[in-house]
Amino acid sequence: MSITSLGIALKVPTLGANNLDPVTTNYVANIITAGGTISSAAIAASDQLVRGLKADGLWNLLQEVYPFCGDFNAALVKLKTVTGQNVLTNHNFVSGDYIESTGLTSNGTTKYLGTDFTPSIHSGDDFSLGVYCPDASTDSNAIACRNSIASRRQLLAPRSGGSTISYLVDSDRVDSGTLSTSNGAFGSLIGSKLGTNLEAYQNGVSVISGAVVASPTKPTVEYFVFALNDNGAVSTHSATTYSFGFIGDGLTDTQVTSLHNRILAFQQSLGRA
């Protein structure tokens, strides 16, 4: 059996194209276009993720999804995007920085990804950011952007040697303090703004919440992954490994728990939870 795009066939020995969700079929086609390859196991895991997110009513709440699977070229392909850009923009990563069973690792100085997604794309004022860290994260900006005006910012960042999750919107922020787990900031790290509530979660459980302005001033520059987009300049890099990322709408506690469970199952299927 094969999935064909632009006349190129990707052999999928155990999966038929007709058995895949159309989102997965399109994802595989984009990987082929990007010159990447992906195994049958990773396709099956991606398809299960898509179907699970749809079943939970989460798919339409996610704007961008970065699964980081397949080979190096495939790892930069988005599972979902609303920008029209199907591949994350690579800044200085090389194939040696990526292992599917671990994820993508930055050096903390020069390597980061561009998303082509600016906060202004959100139709409303509520949004969420998330990453999956297979190991304890060091100080970093996971997904972050801001304009030169200090209060115009949106970012999710493990901090303080990986013992704290910071989530910032405009001039408001919440910091989790020392996390209860001895391993620090690992697993799924999610920040969500919903109404006037700002909340940070680790592995589907709320660790800190606080008040936030209802209608924040949105930055006009794209989010970077592994670094802060500081009004168009790269700043404050992240020296850590991520094996999943997303940008979404505001999420409730129940939705965050469901999303974490789906992300965790995806990571487990790839042997990197």
* Res 116 pLDDT > 80: yes
112/90 Cα distance (integer angstroms)? 7
CB of 130 closer than 8 Å to CB of 246: yes
Q: What is the pLDDT of residue 51?
A: 98
Residue with the larger pLDDT of the pair 169 and 2: 169
Q: What are phi and psi of 264, to 5 degrees?
A: -60, -45
Q: What are phi and psi of 104, to 5 degrees?
A: -105, 130
Residue with the larger pLDDT of the pair 3 and 214: 214
Long-range pairs of 122-127 with CB within 8 A, sequence gap ≥ 24:
122/63, 122/218, 122/249, 124/249, 124/250, 125/193, 125/214, 125/215, 125/216, 126/192, 126/193, 126/194, 126/195, 126/249, 126/250, 127/154, 127/192, 127/193, 127/247, 127/248, 127/249, 127/250
Predicted confidence band of residue 11 (pLDDT cuts 50, 70, 90): very low
* Res 10 pLDDT > 50: no
CB of 242 closer than 8 Å to CB of 155: no
**Is residue 32 a part of any domain in this protein?**
no
Residue with the larger pLDDT of the pair 165 and 38: 38
* Res 141 pLDDT > 60: yes
159/140 Cα distance (integer angstroms)? 6
* Domain total of the chain: 1
Residue with the larger pLDDT of the pair 163 and 270: 270
Residue with the larger pLDDT of the pair 181 and 232: 232
Q: What is the pLDDT of residue 3?
A: 47
**Is residue 105 a part of any domain in this protein?**
yes
Percent of the chain, pLDDT > 90? 51
* Mean pLDDT value of segment 56-64: 97
Q: What is the pLDDT of residue 94?
A: 98
**Is residue 101 a part of any domain in this protein?**
yes
Residue with the larger pLDDT of the pair 3 and 32: 32
**Is residue 248 a part of any domain in this protein?**
yes
Q: What is the pLDDT of residue 90?
A: 98
**Is residue 209 a part of any domain in this protein?**
yes
Tokens of residue 101, six digits: 């069973």
Tokens of residue 197, six digits: 């509530």
Predicted confidence band of residue 23 (pLDDT cuts 50, 70, 90): very high
CA quadruple 255, 123, 86, 46: dihedral, nearest 10: 10
**Is residue 253 a part of any domain in this protein?**
yes
**Is residue 26 a part of any domain in this protein?**
no
Alpha carbon 137 to its chain centroid, in Å, reads 15
Q: Which domain holds residue 121?
A: 61-269
- Contacts of residue 103, defined as CB under 8 A and 6 or more positions apart, other chains included, come to 68, 132, 134, 241, 242, 243, 244, 272
**Is residue 92 a part of any domain in this protein?**
yes
Predicted confidence band of residue 133 (pLDDT cuts 50, 70, 90): confident
- Strands 228-230 and 143-146, bridge-based pairing: parallel
Q: What is the pLDDT of residue 150?
A: 61
CATH assignment of the domain containing 138: 2.60.120.200
- Contacts of residue 253, defined as CB under 8 A and 6 or more positions apart, other chains included, come to 199, 206
Tokens of residue 225, six digits: 């992954």
238/143 Cα distance (integer angstroms)? 10
For 177-226, write each residue's pLDDT tens digit: 655 554 566 789 898 999 888 888 989 999 888 888 888 888 889 999 99
